[in-house]
């Protein structure tokens, strides 16, 4: 008799314990009937979050009825590092899970969300990743199916000009929202399931990334090893977004975003390609600045974005061993 596949759900917390518990409760409800466990990782919040989470898990009986464990990280290594802690913890009996499901602490699964991802991966043995259809609290759909970043994609994204968007339509990173399950290059990490065998082959998240580009890099590594990534619209989830990072209130892009972008391009395509991608973005940005001057277009980038991008990447080019600089301690950096 075949054994049901095992599933490990990982929820990463950073200074949002009550919202994390809400996300965990939604996921646990959706995991009912599956051979599944959950690990909640506190990413060194330093605000008592780990104790709050442990006490709540015990008070609700989740430790006994649902196999929920809380792990406190000794440091905040970022989104990938925190999730890696949960993945490496494995199942309670010490086994590695057949599948790993990562859900953000501000994302709340609809009924059937997790099962739809699991069913898709089981019915598509060549698939290594399956991502959900994401919408906001206002029910507005979010674009979470993507193409890999490229030089032409950098020009298109920065220029925001119809002619260039038509010319480079196959390089636009954010794809139109698929209505049916389809292969994509990568999916957002807010709600994504990964095949355990694939992770054993390609490894976990690259912890050089503190935040951003880590799921893009992982999907690219999977693709290069022959694994597919799928967007599964039957799997639905509500995602508030930027609760832990504070991204919606940023006036300037933080240094670790530029560092992650540079690391992604240099690691996967080389330093010359990374430099060309930056020049492409600056060129596209110059086009949009001209449109702002002539047509009164609104500012769409954070303050000093192009200047910060240029300065960061020039410094990165001149460093012998470029790396992603760690962020300054502040209550904004752990999850997308």
CA distance to 69, 167, 281, per residue, from 160 (Å): 46, 12, 11
CA distance to 262, 315, 323, per residue, from 319 (Å): 12, 6, 9
Q: How are beta strands 127-135 and 228-239 bridged, if at all?
A: parallel
Answer yes or no: are the C-beta atoms of 16 and 105 closer than 8 Å.
yes
Q: Which 3 state secondary structure label does DSSP give 50?
A: helix
pLDDT of residue 1: 44
Residues in the chain: 336
Give residue-wise pLDDT tens across range 193-246. 999 999 999 999 999 999 999 999 999 999 999 999 999 999 999 999 765 554
Give residue-wise pLDDT tens across range 174-199. 999 999 999 999 999 999 999 999 99
Q: Is the pLDDT of residue 324 over 60?
A: no
Whose CA is closest to 37, among 51, 17, 57, 19? 57
Determine whether domain 6-149+173-245 maps to CATH 3.90.550.10: yes
pTM: 0.91
Output 142 or 325, whichever has higher pLDDT: 142
- Could you state, in order of their start, the residue ranges of all structural domains in the chain? 6-149+173-245
Give residue-wise pLDDT tens across range 45-98. 999 999 999 999 999 999 999 999 999 999 999 999 999 999 999 999 999 999
pLDDT of residue 202: 98
Give residue-wise pLDDT tens across range 149-163. 999 999 999 999 999
Half-sphere exposure (Cβ direction) of 213: Cα atoms closer than 13 Å: 21
What would the two tokens of residue 223 be? Answer: 């693709």
**In degrees, to the nearest 5, what angle opens at C-alpha 70 toward C-alphas 135 and 6?**
70
What would the two tokens of residue 61 be? Answer: 């009986």
What would the two tokens of residue 317 be? Answer: 């080019």
Q: Is the pLDDT of residue 335 over 50?
A: no
Radius of gyration over alpha carbons of the chain, in Å? Answer: 20
Q: Which 3 state secondary structure label does DSSP give 247?
A: helix
248 pLDDT tier (thresholds 50, 70, 90)? low
334 pLDDT tier (thresholds 50, 70, 90)? very low
Q: Tell me the sheet residues that pair with 184.
A: 229
């Amino acid at each position: 008799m075949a054994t049901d596949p095992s599933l490990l759900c990982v929820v990463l917390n950073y200074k949002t314990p009550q919202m994390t518990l809400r996300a965990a409760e939604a996921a646990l409800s959706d995991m009912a009937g599956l051979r599944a466990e959950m690990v909640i990782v506190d990413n060194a919040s330093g605000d008592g979050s780990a104790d709050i989470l442990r006490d709540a898990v015990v008070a609700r009986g989740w430790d006994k009825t649902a196999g929920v464990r809380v792990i406190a990280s000794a440091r905040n290594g970022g989104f990938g590092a925190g999730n890696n802690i949960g993945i490496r913890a494995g199942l309670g009996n010490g086994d590695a899970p057949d599948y790993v499901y990562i859900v953000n602490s501000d994302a709340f699964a609809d009924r059937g969300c997790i099962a739809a991802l699991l069913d898709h991966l089981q019915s598509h043995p060549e698939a290594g990743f399956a991502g959900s259809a994401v919408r906001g609290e206002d029910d507005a759909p979010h674009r979470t199916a993507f193409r890999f970043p490229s030089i032409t994609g950098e020009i298109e994204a920065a220029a925001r000009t119809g002619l260039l968007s038509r010319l480079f339509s196959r390089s636009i990173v954010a794809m139109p929202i698929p209505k049916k399950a389809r292969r994509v290059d990568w999916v957002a990490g807010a709600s994504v399931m990964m095949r355990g065998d694939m992770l054993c082959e390609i490894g976990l998240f690259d912890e050089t990334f503190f935040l951003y580009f880590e799921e893009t890099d992982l999907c690219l590594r999977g693709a290069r090893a022959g694994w597919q990534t799928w967007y599964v619209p039957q799997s639905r989830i509500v995602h508030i977004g930027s609760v832990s990072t504070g991204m919606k209130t940023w006036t300037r892009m933080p240094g670790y975003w530029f560092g992650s972008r540079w690391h992604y391009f240099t690691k996967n395509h080389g330093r010359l390609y990374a430099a060309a991608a930056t020049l492409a973005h600056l060129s596209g940005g110059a086009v949009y600045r001209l449109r702002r001057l002539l047509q009164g277009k609104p500012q769409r980038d954070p303050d000093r974005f192009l200047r910060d991008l240029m300065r960061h990447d020039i410094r990165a080019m001149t460093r012998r061993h470029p790396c992603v600089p760690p962020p300054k301690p502040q209550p904004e950096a752990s999850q997308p």
